[in-house]
Amino acid sequence: MIRLLVLVSLVAAAGEIIFLSLQGFSPRQGYAPKQPVAFSHKLHSGVMDVPCQYCHTQVSKGRHATVPSGNICMNCHEHVDRPSGADAPSPEIAKVKTAYKAGKSIEWVNVFDLPDHVYFNHQPHVHAGVACETCHGEIKKMDVVKTAVTLNMGWCLDCHRSQPGHINVPVYGEDQQVLRHVQQVNIKEQGEFNQACETTEDCGHSQVCLATDGENKTCQWDSYGLSAHFDQAAPQSCTVCHN
Ligand code: HEC
Ligand code: HEC
Ligand code: HEC
Ligand code: HEC
Ligand code: HEC
Protein backbone atom coordinates (compact mmCIF):
# COMPACT_ATOMS: atom_id res chain seq x y z
CA MET A 1 0.00 0.00 0.00
CA ILE A 2 2.77 2.44 0.93
CA ARG A 3 4.60 1.64 -2.32
CA LEU A 4 1.43 2.32 -4.24
CA LEU A 5 1.07 5.63 -2.44
CA VAL A 6 4.61 6.66 -3.30
CA LEU A 7 3.98 5.76 -6.92
CA VAL A 8 0.76 7.73 -6.94
CA SER A 9 2.50 10.71 -5.43
CA LEU A 10 5.29 10.56 -8.01
CA VAL A 11 2.76 10.56 -10.81
CA ALA A 12 0.89 13.37 -9.17
CA ALA A 13 4.14 15.32 -8.81
CA ALA A 14 3.81 16.09 -12.50
CA GLY A 15 0.69 18.00 -11.56
CA GLU A 16 0.35 20.97 -9.34
CA ILE A 17 -1.02 19.44 -6.18
CA ILE A 18 2.31 18.20 -4.84
CA PHE A 19 3.98 21.42 -5.89
CA LEU A 20 1.42 23.43 -3.99
CA SER A 21 1.55 21.24 -0.90
CA LEU A 22 5.34 21.50 -0.81
CA GLN A 23 4.95 25.25 -0.87
CA GLY A 24 2.63 24.99 2.09
CA PHE A 25 -0.50 25.92 0.16
CA SER A 26 -3.00 23.18 0.59
CA PRO A 27 -6.04 23.53 -1.61
CA ARG A 28 -8.07 22.76 1.49
CA GLN A 29 -6.82 25.55 3.74
CA GLY A 30 -9.44 28.25 4.07
CA TYR A 31 -12.16 26.04 2.57
CA ALA A 32 -15.55 27.28 3.83
CA PRO A 33 -18.38 25.87 1.72
CA LYS A 34 -21.87 27.33 1.86
CA GLN A 35 -24.16 25.08 3.90
CA PRO A 36 -27.81 24.22 3.10
CA VAL A 37 -28.94 25.85 6.37
CA ALA A 38 -27.24 28.99 7.74
CA PHE A 39 -26.25 27.26 10.99
CA SER A 40 -23.83 29.32 13.11
CA HIS A 41 -21.33 27.88 15.59
CA LYS A 42 -20.63 31.43 16.76
CA LEU A 43 -24.25 31.64 17.93
CA HIS A 44 -24.80 28.10 19.23
CA SER A 45 -21.44 27.27 20.79
CA GLY A 46 -20.01 30.78 21.26
CA VAL A 47 -22.95 32.88 22.48
CA MET A 48 -25.20 30.08 23.82
CA ASP A 49 -22.29 27.89 24.92
CA VAL A 50 -23.82 24.55 23.91
CA PRO A 51 -21.04 21.97 24.43
CA CYS A 52 -19.48 20.54 21.26
CA GLN A 53 -20.37 17.00 22.27
CA TYR A 54 -24.05 17.83 22.70
CA CYS A 55 -24.17 17.83 18.90
CA HIS A 56 -21.05 15.89 17.87
CA THR A 57 -22.02 12.93 19.99
CA GLN A 58 -19.55 10.30 18.78
CA VAL A 59 -16.32 12.30 18.97
CA SER A 60 -14.97 10.71 22.15
CA LYS A 61 -16.31 7.29 21.29
CA GLY A 62 -15.12 6.55 17.81
CA ARG A 63 -13.49 7.35 14.57
CA HIS A 64 -15.92 10.02 13.44
CA ALA A 65 -17.24 13.01 15.34
CA THR A 66 -20.49 12.90 13.32
CA VAL A 67 -22.62 15.86 12.34
CA PRO A 68 -25.88 16.05 14.33
CA SER A 69 -29.14 14.66 13.04
CA GLY A 70 -32.35 16.69 13.01
CA ASN A 71 -33.70 15.42 16.33
CA ILE A 72 -30.83 17.12 18.19
CA CYS A 73 -31.76 20.46 16.59
CA MET A 74 -35.42 19.81 17.34
CA ASN A 75 -34.71 19.48 21.08
CA CYS A 76 -34.69 23.28 20.96
CA HIS A 77 -36.26 24.22 17.65
CA GLU A 78 -39.47 22.41 18.50
CA HIS A 79 -39.96 25.51 20.67
CA VAL A 80 -37.75 28.14 19.02
CA ASP A 81 -38.79 29.21 15.51
CA ARG A 82 -37.09 32.61 15.33
CA PRO A 83 -34.23 34.67 16.81
CA SER A 84 -35.28 36.45 20.00
CA GLY A 85 -37.11 39.67 19.23
CA ALA A 86 -37.93 38.77 15.62
CA ASP A 87 -41.55 39.24 14.62
CA ALA A 88 -41.63 36.48 12.01
CA PRO A 89 -40.41 32.86 12.01
CA SER A 90 -36.92 32.33 10.58
CA PRO A 91 -36.90 30.71 7.12
CA GLU A 92 -33.62 28.99 8.06
CA ILE A 93 -35.15 27.34 11.11
CA ALA A 94 -38.18 26.46 8.98
CA LYS A 95 -35.89 24.40 6.71
CA VAL A 96 -34.77 22.40 9.75
CA LYS A 97 -38.35 21.73 10.84
CA THR A 98 -39.58 20.85 7.37
CA ALA A 99 -36.76 18.36 6.81
CA TYR A 100 -37.35 16.79 10.20
CA LYS A 101 -41.09 16.37 9.67
CA ALA A 102 -40.46 14.84 6.24
CA GLY A 103 -38.00 12.38 7.81
CA LYS A 104 -35.16 13.80 5.71
CA SER A 105 -31.69 14.69 6.87
CA ILE A 106 -30.03 17.97 5.99
CA GLU A 107 -27.25 17.47 3.42
CA TRP A 108 -24.43 19.25 5.25
CA VAL A 109 -21.33 19.76 3.12
CA ASN A 110 -18.29 18.04 4.60
CA VAL A 111 -15.53 20.54 5.41
CA PHE A 112 -12.65 18.58 6.94
CA ASP A 113 -11.95 15.60 4.75
CA LEU A 114 -8.82 13.48 4.51
CA PRO A 115 -7.98 11.39 1.46
CA ASP A 116 -9.16 7.78 1.70
CA HIS A 117 -5.63 6.43 2.08
CA VAL A 118 -5.28 8.06 5.50
CA TYR A 119 -6.62 6.58 8.72
CA PHE A 120 -7.71 9.04 11.39
CA ASN A 121 -9.63 8.39 14.57
CA HIS A 122 -11.00 11.06 16.91
CA GLN A 123 -11.18 8.97 20.04
CA PRO A 124 -7.47 8.62 20.99
CA HIS A 125 -6.90 12.31 20.28
CA VAL A 126 -9.81 13.48 22.38
CA HIS A 127 -8.83 11.08 25.17
CA ALA A 128 -5.24 12.36 25.07
CA GLY A 129 -6.74 15.79 25.73
CA VAL A 130 -6.05 17.43 22.38
CA ALA A 131 -8.59 20.27 22.18
CA CYS A 132 -10.97 20.43 19.21
CA GLU A 133 -9.62 23.91 18.50
CA THR A 134 -6.08 22.62 18.06
CA CYS A 135 -7.14 20.87 14.89
CA HIS A 136 -10.26 22.76 13.84
CA GLY A 137 -9.44 26.36 14.76
CA GLU A 138 -11.67 28.63 16.81
CA ILE A 139 -14.99 27.14 15.78
CA LYS A 140 -16.76 29.13 18.49
CA LYS A 141 -16.01 32.34 16.61
CA MET A 142 -17.12 31.12 13.20
CA ASP A 143 -20.49 31.77 11.57
CA VAL A 144 -19.38 29.47 8.76
CA VAL A 145 -16.98 26.60 9.48
CA LYS A 146 -13.67 27.15 7.74
CA THR A 147 -10.52 25.01 7.59
CA ALA A 148 -7.76 26.72 9.52
CA VAL A 149 -5.15 24.03 9.08
CA THR A 150 -3.92 22.21 6.00
CA LEU A 151 -4.48 18.68 7.39
CA ASN A 152 -1.41 17.59 5.48
CA MET A 153 0.97 14.87 6.59
CA GLY A 154 3.55 17.31 7.94
CA TRP A 155 0.95 18.82 10.22
CA CYS A 156 -0.03 15.44 11.70
CA LEU A 157 3.62 14.46 12.12
CA ASP A 158 4.71 17.74 13.71
CA CYS A 159 2.48 16.94 16.60
CA HIS A 160 3.22 13.22 16.68
CA ARG A 161 6.95 13.96 16.88
CA SER A 162 6.61 16.46 19.70
CA GLN A 163 8.62 15.79 22.75
CA PRO A 164 6.56 13.85 25.28
CA GLY A 165 4.83 16.06 27.77
CA HIS A 166 5.45 19.28 25.89
CA ILE A 167 3.81 20.31 22.71
CA ASN A 168 3.43 23.59 20.90
CA VAL A 169 0.02 24.13 19.44
CA PRO A 170 -1.12 27.09 17.38
CA VAL A 171 -3.78 29.52 18.52
CA TYR A 172 -5.77 30.95 15.65
CA GLY A 173 -7.10 34.47 15.23
CA GLU A 174 -10.43 35.65 13.87
CA ASP A 175 -9.51 35.12 10.22
CA GLN A 176 -7.62 31.93 11.09
CA GLN A 177 -4.06 33.21 10.89
CA VAL A 178 -1.78 31.74 13.53
CA LEU A 179 -1.56 34.26 16.37
CA ARG A 180 0.88 32.54 18.68
CA HIS A 181 1.86 29.14 19.93
CA VAL A 182 0.84 27.86 23.31
CA GLN A 183 2.90 25.28 25.05
CA GLN A 184 0.77 22.53 26.40
CA VAL A 185 2.50 20.93 29.32
CA ASN A 186 1.93 17.57 30.91
CA ILE A 187 -1.28 17.99 32.83
CA LYS A 188 0.25 16.26 35.81
CA GLU A 189 2.63 19.19 36.19
CA GLN A 190 -0.22 21.65 36.18
CA GLY A 191 -0.62 21.97 39.93
CA GLU A 192 2.75 23.52 40.56
CA PHE A 193 2.00 26.44 38.22
CA ASN A 194 -1.38 27.24 39.68
CA GLN A 195 -0.10 30.21 41.64
CA ALA A 196 -1.74 33.45 42.78
CA CYS A 197 -1.28 36.42 40.44
CA GLU A 198 -2.21 40.03 39.73
CA THR A 199 -1.68 40.16 35.97
CA THR A 200 -0.80 37.68 33.21
CA GLU A 201 2.80 38.91 33.38
CA ASP A 202 3.11 37.17 36.73
CA CYS A 203 2.39 33.83 35.07
CA GLY A 204 4.86 31.66 33.22
CA HIS A 205 4.32 28.77 30.84
CA SER A 206 1.80 30.61 28.66
CA GLN A 207 -0.73 30.73 31.45
CA VAL A 208 -3.13 33.63 31.87
CA CYS A 209 -4.19 35.37 35.08
CA LEU A 210 -7.87 34.64 35.68
CA ALA A 211 -10.34 34.82 38.54
CA THR A 212 -12.08 31.52 37.94
CA ASP A 213 -13.81 31.52 41.33
CA GLY A 214 -14.92 35.12 40.82
CA GLU A 215 -12.54 36.41 43.51
CA ASN A 216 -8.97 35.16 43.75
CA LYS A 217 -6.85 35.35 40.64
CA THR A 218 -4.62 32.43 39.80
CA CYS A 219 -2.51 31.45 36.80
CA GLN A 220 -4.60 29.20 34.57
CA TRP A 221 -4.23 27.53 31.26
CA ASP A 222 -6.44 29.17 28.69
CA SER A 223 -8.71 26.83 26.77
CA TYR A 224 -5.81 25.67 24.62
CA GLY A 225 -3.27 25.19 27.33
CA LEU A 226 -5.58 23.14 29.46
CA SER A 227 -5.35 19.87 27.74
CA ALA A 228 -2.87 17.58 26.11
CA HIS A 229 -0.91 15.33 28.38
CA PHE A 230 1.39 13.10 26.43
CA ASP A 231 3.38 10.54 28.36
CA GLN A 232 5.21 9.57 25.20
CA ALA A 233 5.49 10.84 21.65
CA ALA A 234 2.59 9.68 19.47
CA PRO A 235 3.18 6.89 16.96
CA GLN A 236 5.03 7.84 13.75
CA SER A 237 5.34 4.67 11.69
CA CYS A 238 3.79 4.86 8.24
CA THR A 239 1.35 2.05 8.93
CA VAL A 240 -0.28 3.90 11.83
CA CYS A 241 -1.89 6.32 9.40
CA HIS A 242 -1.69 4.29 6.19
CA ASN A 243 -2.73 0.67 6.26
C1 HEC B 1 -5.97 15.70 16.23
C2 HEC B 1 -6.81 16.56 15.45
C3 HEC B 1 -8.30 16.60 15.73
C4 HEC B 1 -8.94 16.83 16.93
C5 HEC B 1 -8.34 17.02 18.30
C6 HEC B 1 -10.36 16.87 16.64
N7 HEC B 1 -10.56 16.66 15.31
FE8 HEC B 1 -12.35 16.63 14.32
N9 HEC B 1 -11.43 16.08 12.59
C10 HEC B 1 -10.06 15.96 12.44
C11 HEC B 1 -9.77 15.44 11.10
C12 HEC B 1 -8.39 15.14 10.55
C13 HEC B 1 -11.03 15.28 10.47
C14 HEC B 1 -11.29 14.71 9.07
C15 HEC B 1 -11.47 13.21 9.23
C16 HEC B 1 -11.58 12.43 7.96
O17 HEC B 1 -11.72 12.98 6.89
O18 HEC B 1 -11.52 11.17 8.09
C19 HEC B 1 -12.05 15.70 11.43
C20 HEC B 1 -13.41 15.70 11.19
C21 HEC B 1 -14.37 16.23 12.07
C22 HEC B 1 -15.78 16.36 11.79
C23 HEC B 1 -16.48 15.97 10.49
C24 HEC B 1 -17.20 14.64 10.65
C25 HEC B 1 -16.25 13.51 10.92
O26 HEC B 1 -16.30 12.95 12.00
O27 HEC B 1 -15.42 13.21 10.04
C28 HEC B 1 -16.38 16.91 12.89
C29 HEC B 1 -17.85 17.24 13.10
C30 HEC B 1 -15.33 17.10 13.89
N31 HEC B 1 -14.13 16.67 13.36
C32 HEC B 1 -15.55 17.62 15.16
C33 HEC B 1 -14.60 17.60 16.19
C34 HEC B 1 -14.87 17.96 17.58
C35 HEC B 1 -16.22 18.41 18.13
C36 HEC B 1 -13.69 17.79 18.27
C37 HEC B 1 -13.43 17.98 19.76
C38 HEC B 1 -14.27 17.21 20.69
C39 HEC B 1 -12.68 17.35 17.30
N40 HEC B 1 -13.28 17.23 16.07
C41 HEC B 1 -11.34 17.09 17.59
C42 HEC B 1 -9.10 16.26 13.36
C43 HEC B 1 -9.34 16.50 14.71
C1 HEC C 1 -29.68 24.30 22.90
C2 HEC C 1 -30.74 24.75 22.02
C3 HEC C 1 -30.49 24.73 20.53
C4 HEC C 1 -30.06 23.70 19.75
C5 HEC C 1 -29.66 22.30 20.19
C6 HEC C 1 -30.05 24.18 18.40
N7 HEC C 1 -30.46 25.49 18.37
FE8 HEC C 1 -30.52 26.66 16.71
N9 HEC C 1 -31.02 28.27 17.88
C10 HEC C 1 -31.36 28.20 19.21
C11 HEC C 1 -31.82 29.51 19.66
C12 HEC C 1 -32.30 29.85 21.07
C13 HEC C 1 -31.76 30.35 18.52
C14 HEC C 1 -32.16 31.84 18.46
C15 HEC C 1 -31.05 32.65 19.06
C16 HEC C 1 -31.35 34.13 18.98
O17 HEC C 1 -32.11 34.60 19.81
O18 HEC C 1 -30.84 34.77 18.06
C19 HEC C 1 -31.26 29.54 17.43
C20 HEC C 1 -31.04 30.02 16.14
C21 HEC C 1 -30.81 29.21 15.04
C22 HEC C 1 -30.72 29.70 13.67
C23 HEC C 1 -30.74 31.16 13.23
C24 HEC C 1 -32.06 31.57 12.76
C25 HEC C 1 -32.02 32.97 12.17
O26 HEC C 1 -32.81 33.22 11.26
O27 HEC C 1 -31.19 33.80 12.59
C28 HEC C 1 -30.53 28.59 12.88
C29 HEC C 1 -30.42 28.54 11.37
C30 HEC C 1 -30.48 27.43 13.76
N31 HEC C 1 -30.65 27.86 15.06
C32 HEC C 1 -30.29 26.13 13.33
C33 HEC C 1 -30.05 25.06 14.18
C34 HEC C 1 -29.70 23.72 13.72
C35 HEC C 1 -29.55 23.30 12.28
C36 HEC C 1 -29.52 22.96 14.85
C37 HEC C 1 -29.08 21.52 14.93
C38 HEC C 1 -27.82 21.19 14.29
C39 HEC C 1 -29.77 23.82 16.00
N40 HEC C 1 -30.08 25.08 15.56
C41 HEC C 1 -29.68 23.41 17.31
C42 HEC C 1 -31.25 27.09 20.03
C43 HEC C 1 -30.75 25.86 19.65
C1 HEC D 1 -26.01 22.94 18.18
C2 HEC D 1 -25.22 21.92 17.52
C3 HEC D 1 -23.73 22.06 17.38
C4 HEC D 1 -22.81 22.41 18.34
C5 HEC D 1 -23.05 22.79 19.79
C6 HEC D 1 -21.52 22.33 17.72
N7 HEC D 1 -21.65 21.95 16.42
FE8 HEC D 1 -20.15 21.62 15.09
N9 HEC D 1 -21.51 21.31 13.61
C10 HEC D 1 -22.88 21.34 13.75
C11 HEC D 1 -23.51 21.24 12.44
C12 HEC D 1 -25.00 21.25 12.16
C13 HEC D 1 -22.47 21.13 11.50
C14 HEC D 1 -22.59 21.01 9.97
C15 HEC D 1 -22.81 22.38 9.37
C16 HEC D 1 -21.60 23.27 9.42
O17 HEC D 1 -20.52 22.85 8.98
O18 HEC D 1 -21.74 24.39 9.95
C19 HEC D 1 -21.22 21.18 12.26
C20 HEC D 1 -19.95 21.11 11.70
C21 HEC D 1 -18.78 21.09 12.43
C22 HEC D 1 -17.46 20.87 11.86
C23 HEC D 1 -17.16 20.64 10.41
C24 HEC D 1 -17.54 19.23 10.04
C25 HEC D 1 -17.03 18.83 8.68
O26 HEC D 1 -17.86 18.62 7.80
O27 HEC D 1 -15.83 18.75 8.47
C28 HEC D 1 -16.57 20.92 12.88
C29 HEC D 1 -15.08 20.73 12.79
C30 HEC D 1 -17.31 21.20 14.09
N31 HEC D 1 -18.64 21.29 13.78
C32 HEC D 1 -16.74 21.35 15.34
C33 HEC D 1 -17.43 21.79 16.45
C34 HEC D 1 -16.80 22.20 17.68
C35 HEC D 1 -15.31 22.18 17.94
C36 HEC D 1 -17.80 22.57 18.54
C37 HEC D 1 -17.68 23.14 19.94
C38 HEC D 1 -16.85 24.33 20.07
C39 HEC D 1 -19.06 22.38 17.84
N40 HEC D 1 -18.79 21.94 16.58
C41 HEC D 1 -20.32 22.61 18.37
C42 HEC D 1 -23.55 21.44 14.94
C43 HEC D 1 -22.99 21.79 16.16
C1 HEC E 1 -2.01 18.17 18.31
C2 HEC E 1 -1.47 16.85 18.27
C3 HEC E 1 -1.89 15.85 17.22
C4 HEC E 1 -2.23 16.08 15.91
C5 HEC E 1 -2.31 17.40 15.17
C6 HEC E 1 -2.49 14.79 15.32
N7 HEC E 1 -2.32 13.81 16.27
FE8 HEC E 1 -2.60 11.79 15.97
N9 HEC E 1 -2.14 11.46 17.92
C10 HEC E 1 -1.80 12.40 18.84
C11 HEC E 1 -1.55 11.76 20.13
C12 HEC E 1 -1.13 12.46 21.41
C13 HEC E 1 -1.74 10.38 19.91
C14 HEC E 1 -1.53 9.25 20.92
C15 HEC E 1 -2.78 8.96 21.66
C16 HEC E 1 -2.55 7.79 22.58
O17 HEC E 1 -1.40 7.42 22.82
O18 HEC E 1 -3.54 7.25 23.03
C19 HEC E 1 -2.12 10.21 18.51
C20 HEC E 1 -2.41 8.99 17.93
C21 HEC E 1 -2.74 8.80 16.59
C22 HEC E 1 -3.02 7.53 15.97
C23 HEC E 1 -2.98 6.17 16.65
C24 HEC E 1 -4.30 6.00 17.33
C25 HEC E 1 -4.79 4.62 17.34
O26 HEC E 1 -5.89 4.41 16.80
O27 HEC E 1 -4.07 3.75 17.84
C28 HEC E 1 -3.34 7.78 14.66
C29 HEC E 1 -3.73 6.78 13.59
C30 HEC E 1 -3.23 9.21 14.47
N31 HEC E 1 -2.88 9.79 15.66
C32 HEC E 1 -3.46 9.84 13.25
C33 HEC E 1 -3.37 11.21 13.06
C34 HEC E 1 -3.56 11.85 11.77
C35 HEC E 1 -3.88 11.15 10.48
C36 HEC E 1 -3.40 13.19 12.00
C37 HEC E 1 -3.52 14.32 11.01
C38 HEC E 1 -4.73 14.37 10.20
C39 HEC E 1 -3.10 13.37 13.41
N40 HEC E 1 -3.07 12.15 14.02
C41 HEC E 1 -2.87 14.60 14.00
C42 HEC E 1 -1.69 13.75 18.64
C43 HEC E 1 -1.95 14.42 17.44
C1 HEC F 1 0.39 10.74 11.67
C2 HEC F 1 -0.14 10.27 10.43
C3 HEC F 1 0.75 9.93 9.28
C4 HEC F 1 1.90 9.17 9.29
C5 HEC F 1 2.60 8.56 10.49
C6 HEC F 1 2.34 9.05 7.91
N7 HEC F 1 1.46 9.72 7.10
FE8 HEC F 1 1.55 9.81 5.05
N9 HEC F 1 -0.08 11.04 5.03
C10 HEC F 1 -0.77 11.45 6.13
C11 HEC F 1 -1.81 12.38 5.71
C12 HEC F 1 -2.81 13.10 6.61
C13 HEC F 1 -1.72 12.48 4.30
C14 HEC F 1 -2.62 13.31 3.37
C15 HEC F 1 -1.94 14.60 3.05
C16 HEC F 1 -2.80 15.50 2.18
O17 HEC F 1 -3.75 15.03 1.59
O18 HEC F 1 -2.46 16.69 2.12
C19 HEC F 1 -0.63 11.62 3.90
C20 HEC F 1 -0.22 11.43 2.58
C21 HEC F 1 0.79 10.57 2.18
C22 HEC F 1 1.18 10.34 0.79
C23 HEC F 1 0.53 10.95 -0.42
C24 HEC F 1 1.32 12.15 -0.91
C25 HEC F 1 1.02 13.39 -0.16
O26 HEC F 1 1.97 14.08 0.30
O27 HEC F 1 -0.16 13.73 -0.03
C28 HEC F 1 2.23 9.46 0.80
C29 HEC F 1 2.99 8.92 -0.40
C30 HEC F 1 2.51 9.14 2.22
N31 HEC F 1 1.61 9.83 3.01
C32 HEC F 1 3.50 8.28 2.64
C33 HEC F 1 3.84 8.09 3.97
C34 HEC F 1 5.01 7.31 4.40
C35 HEC F 1 5.98 6.62 3.47
C36 HEC F 1 5.01 7.35 5.78
C37 HEC F 1 6.05 6.77 6.73
C38 HEC F 1 7.38 7.33 6.60
C39 HEC F 1 3.85 8.14 6.20
N40 HEC F 1 3.16 8.56 5.08
C41 HEC F 1 3.47 8.36 7.53
C42 HEC F 1 -0.55 11.06 7.44
C43 HEC F 1 0.49 10.28 7.88
How far is 129 from 90, CA to CA, in rounded Å? 38
Mean pLDDT of the chain: 74
Pocket of ligand 3 (CB under 6 A): 35, 39, 41, 44-45, 50, 52, 54-56, 67-68, 108, 110-112, 132, 136, 139-140, 145
Q: Looking at the CA of residue 54, tell me the nearest atom of ligand 2.
A: 5
Q: Of the residues 35, 112, 118, 139, which should be mutated to test ligand 1's pocket, given the most ligand atoms within 8 Å of the CB?
A: 112
Does pLDDT of 51 surpass 50? yes
Q: Looking at the CA of residue 47, tell me the nearest atom of ligand 2.
A: 15
Residue closest to 228 by CA, chosen among 157, 152, 135: 135
pLDDT in tens, 54-82: 899 887 778 888 898 899 999 999 999 99
Label residue 226 by pLDDT band (50, 70, 90): very low
Q: Looking at the CA of residue 63, tell me the nearest atom of ligand 1.
A: 26
Q: Looking at the CA of residue 60, tell me the nearest atom of ligand 1.
A: 38
pLDDT in tens, 113-150: 999 999 999 988 877 667 787 788 778 889 999 887 67
Q: b/e map of 168-206 (b: 16 or more CB within 10 Å)? A: ebbbbeeebeeeeebebbebeebeebeeebeeeeebebb
Phi-psi region of 95 (alpha: psi -120 to 50; beta: other; left: phi over 0): alpha
pTM: 0.83
Highest mean pLDDT among 30-44, 45-59, 223-237: 30-44
For ligand 1, say whether the CB of 113 is within 6 Å of any of its atoms: yes
Residue closest to 20 by CA, chosen among 147, 116, 170, 152: 152
Q: Hey, where are the domains in the chain? A: 26-67+108-241
- Exposed (0-12), middle (13-18) or buried (19+): which is 122, by Cβ within 10 Å? buried
How far is 4 from 2, CA to CA, in rounded Å? 5
Label residue 28 by pLDDT band (50, 70, 90): low
